[in-house]
Amino acid sequence: QVQLQESGGGSVQAGGSLRLTCEASGYSFNSRKFCVGWWRQAPEKEREGVAVIEVNGKPYYPQTMRDRFTISQDNGKDALYLQIDNVKPEDSATYYCAVSNLAYCGGNYFTQNFFRYWGQGIQVTVSS
């Protein structure tokens, strides 16, 4: 059974930075067996993809996420990270870590249907 746990969320002032961490049990990010990534969902909005890392280590960001978001892995700690810089109020959302059932899940494959395991989510609130 794969369980994902996000941490590092909370309240932050606009213009600041935040780093979210995802740790897993039942799955090793270091194995690079599946594409992994981050999603977010704001109140009354659909869940949207933020970033993924494919099994070759290559990150993928949707066009709207390419300037302030950085996804990375820490092989030593076996964790997945999401760095958000110059945060804006519109970044306020619940952020989810997820593991897909594909090796490559960028581009047209970056949809919820291809993600098998999800964390419970962590709240990020950005104040102006």
Residue 54: what pLDDT? Answer: 96
Q: Which of 95, 85, 87, 90 shows the shortest CA–CA distance to 122?
A: 95
Residue 33: what pLDDT? Answer: 96
Identify each DSSP E strand in the chain by its residue range.
3-7, 10-13, 18-25, 36-41, 48-53, 59-60, 69-74, 79-84, 93-100, 115-118, 122-127
**Mean of all residue pLDDT scores within the chain:** 96
Rg of the chain over Cα atoms, rounded to whole angstroms, equals: 13
Reply yes or no on whether the pLDDT at 76 is more than 90.
no
Reply yes or no on whether the pLDDT at 42 is more than 90.
yes
Reply yes or no on whether the pLDDT at 62 is more than 90.
yes
Reply yes or no on whether the pLDDT at 50 is more than 90.
yes
Q: What is d(CA 95, CA 48) in angstroms, rounded to the nearest whole number?
A: 10
Residue 29: what pLDDT? Answer: 95
Q: Is 43 helix (H, G, I), strand (E, B) or coil?
A: coil
- 88-115 per-position pLDDT tens digit: 999 999 999 999 999 999 999 999 999 9
Length of the chain: 128
